[in-house]
Amino acid sequence: MGVILAQVAVSGILLGGVYALISIGLTLIFGVLRVVNFAHGEFLMIAMYASFWLFHQYGLDPYVSIPIVVALLFVVGVIAMLLVIRPILRASPSMQIAATVGLSTLLQNLALVTLTANYRSVETKLSRMVLSIGPLVMGVSRLVAFLVALAITGLLFLFLQRTYLGKAIRCTAQDRTAALLMGINIDRVYLLTFAIGSALVGVAGALLMQLYPVFPTVGTYFVLAAFVVVVLGGLGNLTGALLGGFIIGLVEAFSGFYVPELKEAVYFVVFIIVLLVRPTGLFGVVGAEEVGLK
Amino acid sequence: MILEAENLTKFFGGLAALKEVSFGIAEGEILGLIGPNGAGKTTLFNVLSGAFRSDQGRVVFAGEDVSRLGAPRRCRTGLVRTFQVVKPFSNLSVLQNVMVGSFLRTPDPGLARERALEVMELVGLGARQDQPAKSLTVSDRKRLEVARALATRPRLLLLDEVMAGLTPTELVEMLETLKKIRDRGVTLLVIEHIMAAILTISERILVLHHGEKIADGAPKAVAGDKRVIDAYLGEEYLLA
Amino acid sequence: MSTPMQREGTMFSTYRFIPTSSLYTLVGLAAVVSVLAFNVADKFYLHVLIMMLFYAAVSSAWNIVGGFAGQLSLGHAAFFGIGAYTSSLLFINFGISPWIGMLIGGVLATLVAGAIGWPSFRLRGPFFTLVTIAFAEVLRILTLYAHDLTRGSIGISVPFRPAVGNFIFRQLSAYAVVALIFLMLTVMVNLWIESSRLGYYLAALREDEDAAQALGIDTARYKLVATLVSAFLTALGGTFYAQYILFIEPFAIFSLDFSVLLAMMAIIGGIGTVWGPVAGAFLVTPLQEGLQAKLGGELHGLHLVVYGAALIVVVILLPQGIVPSIAGRVKRAFGHHEARPAPPVKGES
């Protein structure tokens, strides 16, 4: 029994790594722009479809195509920022939500109309390989996804801590006005942040393509989990998103083991409890007052 | 005594914004509240009106301990405040704004409207009834803030810098309005920085400095009080 | 004059303040729809009419929370589902007339709304929206899980036993009349709220919650009242849907897409106004039904592409929605410059 539980835990942690990666972009965007991008899941979907297409059209191994997908999502982020997000930055929260929900609906159904609802998968040699460590078994793809997720997160942290742009982003997240007064070009910081957040989800999408099939509504499934992670970790808190990812990964793995039919309900219930009891999340929140979380 | 504040203390983190502030207000009085910026005046308002809970001390209003009541309930008992940075309901008209106030005392839109119009006349906003609040000038916004609070039929009205930003003429009008309000039976506690105004209209003045009450008395006495001069006035303020 | 704190007057005289123009519009609408209901022979067009009325009514119900109270709920499918499942299960298992089941469903939805709404109102902006999504999803999953009770993903087929008492009709016109009455009910509720104290208080808390509290408004309580009313009406819509379509299952009924659609129609038409959601539904539904019918399975989802884009465009260019924008232009053409309670756009002030 212990081995089985350990196995479940391992799956949970591996899954958690990927959840963390999806969520980090979302929380970064919120921390800086104070906007919840309800279309985040659709960006993930776009990344997955891109990875799929590059594989089937050009035979590009999904790991190899990661940089391309990242670049693509960066561009998608820029476009979305300029066309949809920037015009609504000053609007009321309701209107911001409406706009990103509109974007989400638009993208989802665009995919549905042009690509059909069929499930599509990528199968490489790696897809079936498993690694055994003692009695524990893990899919190699999952392990690689986990490691890449950690690596990218690490790079992100380094970027935010060490580079000027990274610091500018952190400043803007902490105090918009002060950053402005210090000569930081807020507009550009917003744009860059949104694009980076989107690019991060690009990596996640490319990694996930090896683990799951893609279909137009795949984004919804993952983005709801990402919201739970982000709220749990504290909106705007990157470390929180990382840890939250692991927690939710474990929660999902264990509830999948004990109550498979209610698996999703469990983390939604966790979500509701966190929102009602401690909306600032486990690790506190940037700009809580602005969104009325006093 | 319509209001008794007993040992009100409020901490923000390690900073004591209010330190054992005690005073009373007699019914029908106009009490002025002055002090340098950061002295704790608005914090005191927040504590009195229920926006914040004090860490220590009590607020007794009309004989009742209201310390545990939140802002909406305190307002209903007759203890009402205005905001230093005015908060109009921008997309509603002036009349609609004031009606939000008068609806506190009646669920009937007709009566609420009548009372709102009456209060607007008193305050000088009668002509602007259907104008959207966001299009008002500064002085009219201040009037609106007062009108709205007045429409709730307060017994004690806490006015937070209602005269800031007004021209001399507007200031005189506002002082007249405040007197009219008092003559209707409303007690006033007024925060102001404009010395001429506050010393003229107040029957008594309270001075706060670093969260503590440093003076409490007739305007002339307070204006000549050495502590007040050192902390705030700079030099003896001579009343005209 | 130190006046004692007396309460005078009642809320019932609110009806005097409902603009007569709105009442005329309502009567006119009812007349036109009645004529159409009994003179249009083509079943497809009748179906579109019924759907237009249905969506207009449910979107209006949503508007009480999403528009008047300014709380963007994307979980209204929960109330809709409770209504649909309650009346259907009571009908199939106990033979209880769906009319009664509808009321029971409404009450049940109201109770659930109270239970989940009360703790949720502290949350603002996206947090509130997220919690509503979560609640609706939990309900969907629970419905799937309790398949012994609810038939799970198989769904429930309401047996076609036409009779007025069974809320099942052979004639589509009958459904159109019921839908019309439903719409008139929700519009009247909206009109009444708008002119009443509740409406003013909701507008106040939407504009500035702190100022509202300083004026004695218990904001959580009024948000709750709005939610209860909205939930009740939405649940009625659920029963209507079940009795019209005669088939319900969790994926369609408790769907996030449906919740989004309600919000979308209200926002495009004019969130927070009485006629906005109606106009939004009237504009959007024919497109949806038309596209689904003509293009069938091929371009399934095309209408949603259009709505998504339309929503974005409206939010950016016409944040007040179509109806207020047009009304504003018409009024300015006639020289009026009145203010009406409008949705908040914080950029201006």
Q: How many helices (H) and strands (E) does chain B have?
A: 9, 10
Q: Is the pLDDT of residue B98 over 90?
A: yes
Q: Is B215 left (phi over 0), alpha (psi -120 to 50) or beta?
A: beta
Q: Which residues of B touch C216 (CB under 8 A)?
A: 72-73, 75-76, 80, 104, 152
Flag if C145 and A275 touch (Cβ within 8 Å).
no
pLDDT of residue A292: 41
Q: Do C308 and A109 touch (CB under 8 A)?
A: yes
**C191 pLDDT higher than 70:** yes
Whether B and A touch, i.e. at least 3 CB pairs below 8 A, reads as no
pLDDT at position C12 is 75
pLDDT at C5: 46
Q: Give how far C341 is from chain A: nearest CA, Å.
A: 15
Q: How many C-beta neighbours within 10 Å does residue C28 have?
A: 10
* Interchain CB distance below 8 Å, C125 and A93: yes
The domain containing residue B11 runs over which residues? 3-87+153-233
Give the angle A79-A81-A82 at the CA atoms, nearest 5°: 70
Q: Is residue B122 part of a domain?
A: no
Q: What is the C-alpha separation between B107 and C197, in angstroms, rounded?
A: 6
C8, pLDDT greater than 80? no
Q: What is the mean pLDDT of chain C?
A: 87
Enumerate residue ranges in chain A where pLDDT < 50: 286-294
* Strand positions, DSSP E, chain B: 3-12, 15-25, 30-34, 56-61, 64-65, 79-81, 156-160, 187-191, 204-209, 212-217
Cα-based distances in Å from B2 to B23, B24, B31, C27, C299: 11, 8, 12, 54, 72
ipTM, 2 dp:
0.90
Smallest CA-to-CA distance from A193 within A58, A35, A15, A60 is with A35
Q: Is A290 exposed, middle or buried (0-12, 13-18, 19+ CB in 10 A)?
A: middle
pLDDT tens across C108-131, in order?
999 999 998 888 888 878 888 988
pTM of the model: 0.88
User: In 3-state terms, what secondary structure has residue C155?
Assistant: coil
Angstroms from C201 CA to nearest CA on chain A: 18
User: By CA distance, what is A102's nearest residue in C?
Assistant: C308
The answer as to whether C309 is a domain residue is no
Q: How many residues does chain B have?
A: 240
Question: For residue range B118-153, what is the model confidence (pLDDT) as tens digits?
Answer: 999 999 898 888 899 999 998 899 999 999 999 999
Q: Which of A90, A93, A272 sits opposite C131 (nearest CB)?
A: A272
> Would the CB atoms of A268 and C302 count as touching at under 8 Å?
no
Residue A101: list chain C partners with CB under 8 A: 74, 260, 263-264, 311
Measure in Å the smallest separation between the Cα of B215 and chain C Cα atoms. Answer: 29
Higher local confidence (pLDDT), C294 or C258: C258
Helix, strand, coil percentages in chain A from 3-state DSSP, rounded to 5: 75, 5, 20
**Among residues of chain C, what percentage have pLDDT more than 70?**
92
pLDDT-above-90 percentage for chain C? 54
Contact list, B185 vs chain C (CB under 8 Å): 1-3
Token pair, residue C81, equals: 């589902």
Please indicate, yes or no, if residue C265 is contained in any of the structural domains: no
Q: The domain that contains B202 carries what CATH number?
A: 3.40.50.300
Give the residue among C26, C28, C37, C7 at the shortest CA–CA distance from C197: C7
Whether chain C has a CB inside 8 Å of the CB on A60: the answer is: no
Confidence bin at C77 (pLDDT 50/70/90): very high
Which residue in C has a C-alpha nearest to residue B102's C-alpha?
A: C215
**Residue B126 belongs to a domain:** no
Structural domain includes residue C285 = no
**Number of domains forming the structure of chain B:** 1
- Whether chain B has a CB inside 8 Å of the CB on C329: the answer is no
Domains of chain A: which residue ranges?
2-277
pLDDT at C325: 87
> With an 8 Å Cβ cutoff, are A90 and C346 in contact?
yes
Nearest C-alpha of chain B: how many angstroms from C195?
7
Q: Do chains C and B touch (3 or more CB pairs under 8 A)?
A: yes
How far is the first Cα of chain A from the last one, in angstroms, to the nearest whole number? 44
Distance from CA of A87 to the nearest CA of C (A): 6
- Asked if C125 and A94 come within 8 Å (Cβ–Cβ), the reply is yes
Neighbour count for residue B187 (Cβ, 10 Å): 23
Tens-digit pLDDT profile for residues B196-232:
888 888 999 999 988 899 889 898 888 888 888 887 7
| A84, A95, A99 member nearest C345 (Cβ) | A95
Cβ distance of A94 and C72 shorter than 8 Å = yes
Please indicate whether, in this complex, the C-beta atoms of B110 and C339 are within 8 angstroms of each other. Answer: no
Question: Containing domain of residue C66, as a range?
Answer: 18-255
Instruction: Give residue B240's pLDDT.
Output: 46
C13 → closest Cβ in B70, B81, B109: B109
Residue B21 lies in a domain: yes
- A2-277 folds as ABC transporter involved in vitamin B12 uptake, BtuC (1.10.3470)
Q: From CA A234, how far away is CA A173, in angstroms rounded?
A: 14
Q: Is residue B95 part of a domain?
A: no
Whether residue C216 and residue B152 make contact (CB cut-off 8 A), yes or no, is yes
CA distance C285 to C279: 10
Whether residues A102 and C346 touch (CB distance < 8 A) is answered with no
* Residue A146 to residue A207: CA distance in whole angstroms: 9
> Does any domain span residue C151?
yes
If we measure between CA atoms, which residue out of A42, A17, A52, A8 comes closest to residue A248?
Answer: A17
pLDDT at res. C7: 52
Amino acid at A26: L
Say yes or no to pLDDT of C301 above 50: yes
Specify the pLDDT at position C246. 92
**Residue A192 and residue A41: Cα distance in Å, rounded?**
19
Q: Which residues, at least 6 apart from B181, have a Cβ–Cβ distance to it below 8 Å? A: B122, B146, B150, B157, B188
Distances in whole angstroms, Cα of residue C73 to Cα of each of C12, C95, C201, C223: 29, 34, 19, 12
pLDDT for C2 equals: 42
Which residues of chain A does C144 touch, with a Cβ-Cβ cutoff of 8 Å? 261
Residue C297 has a pLDDT of 60
CB C333 within 8 A of CB C283: no
A neighbour chains, 3+ CB pairs within 8 Å: C
Q: Which of C9, C203, C337 sits opposite B107 (nearest CB)?
A: C9
Q: CB distance from C7 to chain B under 8 Å?
A: yes
Between B42 and A134, the higher pLDDT residue:
B42
Out of B83, B93, B134, whose CB is closest to C211?
B83
Residue of A nearest to C143 (CA): A262
Predicted pLDDT of residue C345:
43
The pairing of beta strand C156-157 with beta strand B204-209: unpaired
Do the Cβ atoms of C348 and B100 come within 8 Å?
Answer: no
Query: A94, A276, A286: best mutation site toward chain C, by most C Cβ within 10 Å?
Result: A94
Distance of alpha carbon A77 from alpha carbon A43, whole angstroms: 8
| C241 within some domain | yes
Q: Residue C315 and residue A110: Cβ atoms within 8 Å?
A: no
Do A and C make contact via 3 or more CB pairs under 8 A? The reply is yes
